[in-house]
């Protein structure tokens, strides 16, 4: 499945374990352990492993979702992983010194706001949205677009995987969701109003690593990131070859894989530098997510955002 963002609030119980990294045999032998789960935006790493291009000292620890990634991170069983920004902030609130070192992808249509008519959300509507910081942010942005506030509608915190049943039961007027769940809702009669293209740089998937592991894995991390960019360039040149392989990995159809890739942007090396720059729109979105997570009590207090992003491990852009 393409599921990537999981509700993380229930992981606060793990915070007591977060400050005690465990030394496994992988760490002793110098393997950089990266937690990863099925999502089309992370396919570069799966493809690199399949083709033998993954750096020798990288071990992909495959999970079913980011909730599991966060759990493994808290017990020291992985050194980093694939996370959305809100999950990075959650981990940091638990004492895990995560640092964003690269952006995998940006949602550009994969996240959608669906309504019964395809028209805008109206006052009094019942609106389902994912119970996460990113889901809440999209909920607020969609309402803001119509001059509404959360008090003007009935907001329902409901994971995308559960929205279809509520839609079929006539309980919802609108749903904020993402692929492949969006396609299922459309098949049930929902129509797209807007999507994440209207909110650029808002939903991003990152590669984040513990700051206290960076010195140990400096060369390996550089190799891993370089491999990612090599693979996505090959995907750009010969997409069909990779789409069939992605479909096989994800256990989906070729068309679903194509649709999934069409809904995201895979930023280049140069675009990574631009997005991660000090005064970028991406940084502004992080600040907004940080405030929302605090207000929604997803984290006990706002992150100071210091040492959150490090571009030192990105390759030098061509022509620089």
Please list the pLDDT of the chain residue by residue as tens digits (320 residues). 444 454 343 433 334 334 334 444 444 458 999 999 878 889 999 999 999 999 999 999 998 777 788 889 999 999 999 998 988 999 999 999 999 999 999 989 888 999 999 999 999 999 999 887 778 888 988 999 999 999 999 999 998 889 999 999 999 999 999 877 888 899 899 999 999 999 887 789 999 999 999 999 999 999 999 999 999 999 999 888 888 888 887 777 888 788 888 889 999 999 999 999 998 989 998 998 899 889 888 899 999 999 999 999 999 987 66
Note the pLDDT of residue 320: 64
Q: Are 176 and 129 in contact (CB under 8 A)?
A: yes
Q: Are the C-beta atoms of residues 45 and 34 closer than 8 Å to each other?
A: yes
Backbone angles phi, psi at 318, to 5 degrees: -60, 135
Helix (H) or strand (E) holding 137: helix 133-145
Cα distance from N-terminal residue to C-terminal residue, the chain: 39
| pTM higher than the cut 0.85 | no
Q: What φ, ψ does residue 215 adopt, rounded to 5°? A: -60, -35
CATH 3.40.190.10 for domain 9-108+202-295, yes or no, is yes
Q: Which CATH superfamily is domain 111-198 in?
A: Periplasmic binding protein-like II (3.40.190.10)
> For residue 12, what pLDDT is reported?
37
- Determine phi and psi for 105, rounding to 5 degrees: -155, 160
> Domain ranges in the chain?
9-108+202-295, 111-198
Residue among 112, 148, 144 at smallest CA distance from 128: 112
Half-sphere exposure of 59 (CA within 13 A, CB side): 14
Longest CA–CA separation in the chain, Å: 58
Instruction: Say which residue the tokens 């998937």 belong to.
Output: 205
Phi/psi at 33 (5° precision): -95, 115
CA 90 vs. chain centroid, Å, equals 13
Tell me the Cα Rg of the chain: 19
Same fold yes or no, 9-108+202-295 and 111-198: yes
């Amino acid at each position: 499945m393409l599921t990537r963002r999981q509700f993380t609030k229930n992981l606060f119980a793990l915070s007591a374990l977060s400050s005690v990294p465990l030394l496994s045999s992988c760490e002793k032998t110098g393997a950089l352990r990266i937690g990863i789960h099925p999502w089309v935006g992370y396919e570069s790493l799966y493809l690199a492993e399949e083709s033998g291009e993954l750096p020798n000292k990288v071990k992909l620890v495959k999970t079913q979702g980011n909730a599991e990634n966060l759990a493994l991170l808290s017990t020291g069983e992985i050194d980093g992983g694939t996370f959305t920004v809100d999950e990075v902030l959650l981990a940091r609130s638990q004492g895990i010194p995560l640092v964003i070192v690269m952006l995998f992808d940006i949602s550009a249509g994969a996240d959608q706001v669906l309504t019964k008519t395809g028209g805008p959300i109206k006052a009094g509507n019942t609106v389902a949205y994912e119970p996460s910081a990113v889901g809440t942010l999209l909920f607020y942005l969609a309402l803001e677009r119509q001059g509404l506030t959360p008090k003007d509608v009935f907001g329902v915190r409901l994971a995308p995987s559960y929205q279809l049943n509520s839609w079929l039961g006539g309980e919802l007027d609108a749903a904020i969701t993402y692929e492949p769940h969006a396609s299922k809702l459309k098949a049930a009669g929902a129509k797209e109003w807007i999507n994440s293209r209207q909110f650029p740089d808002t939903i991003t998937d990152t590669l984040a690593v513990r700051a206290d592991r960076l010195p140990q894995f400096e060369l390996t991390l550089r190799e891993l990131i370089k491999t990612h960019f090599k693979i996505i360039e090959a995907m750009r040149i010969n997409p069909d070859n990779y789409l069939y392989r992605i479909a096989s990995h994800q256990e989906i159809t070729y068309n679903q894989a194509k649709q999934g890739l069409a809904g995201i942007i895979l930023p280049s090396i140069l675009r990574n530098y631009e997005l991660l720059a000090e005064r970028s729109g991406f940084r502004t979105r992080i600040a907004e997510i940080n405030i929302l997570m605090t207000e929604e009590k997803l984290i006990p207090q706002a992150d100071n955002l210091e040492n959150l992003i490090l571009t030192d491990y990105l390759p030098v852009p061509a022509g620089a």
